[in-house]
Amino acid sequence: DIQMTQSPSSVSASVGDRVTITCRASQDIGSRLGWYQQKPGKAPNLLIYGASSLQSGVPSRFSGSGSGTGFTLTISSLQPEDSATYYCQQINAFPLTFGGGTKVEIK
Amino acid sequence: QLQLQESGPGLVKPSETLSLTCTVSGDSISSGGDHWGWIRQAPGKGLQWIGNFFHGGSTVYNPSLGGRVTISADTSKNHFSLQLNSVIAADTAIYYCGRHPPYAPFNYWGQGILVIVSS
């Protein structure tokens, strides 16, 4: 199985801050990576696909980068509504696997 | 607009079979090349992929579930189903169904259904 390791597990930042979340794959997955945002009591919502493509309707302050085994999700200017847990997922091989999640809190 | 809706019992006894259905509207599960799958999330925990159903009837499952999973589809009713056998308390989770293109993440999700395993 491809292991997905996210860091940090949690981050607390102020409105307007730049926040970066890292996801590392245990083997090369090319660009077959997605990022999700999940708010309490809700299903995950797709933010990024193909490692760096912004899903339709997602604010442009979200961006993704990376390929191979190292990926990042960046929120360029944190907003109050961005308080949530973020997950990466590899879709290169079965079984599909997710990172452990990063909880983003607003100071 | 594609919509997915999970349904089924919210309480299952240990050792019994968990059965859920995902009803799809706005698209046909038998058309196109997209994958239809199940994902679960134990309370306060992360996401775990359970398995997928493909156009043509193929399926693939997460081996960590020890062969207890069956996913099937009823194209006449435009829904697909999950069966998880011999459940234990650790199978308590919110179960989501979703759709994703090949080699792309899930772009549509159901709202999720909480299933508790308890006697």
Which tens digit of pLDDT belongs to each residue from A11-21? 999 999 999 99
Instruction: For residue A49, list chain B residues with Cβ-Cβ distance below 8 A.
Output: 104-105, 107
Digit-coded pLDDT (tens) for B35-70: 999 999 999 999 999 999 987 789 999 999 999 999
Amino acid identity at B37 = G
Strands B18-25 and B79-84: antiparallel
Per residue in A30-74, pLDDT (tens digit) is 999 999 999 999 999 999 999 999 999 999 999 999 999 999 999
**Which residues of A fall below an 8 Å CB-CB distance to B?**
1, 32-36, 42-46, 49-50, 55, 87, 89, 91-92, 94-101
Contact (CB<8Å) A49/B110: no
CB within 8 A of A81, min separation 6: which ones? Answer: none
- Contact by Cβ (8 Å): A99, A5: yes
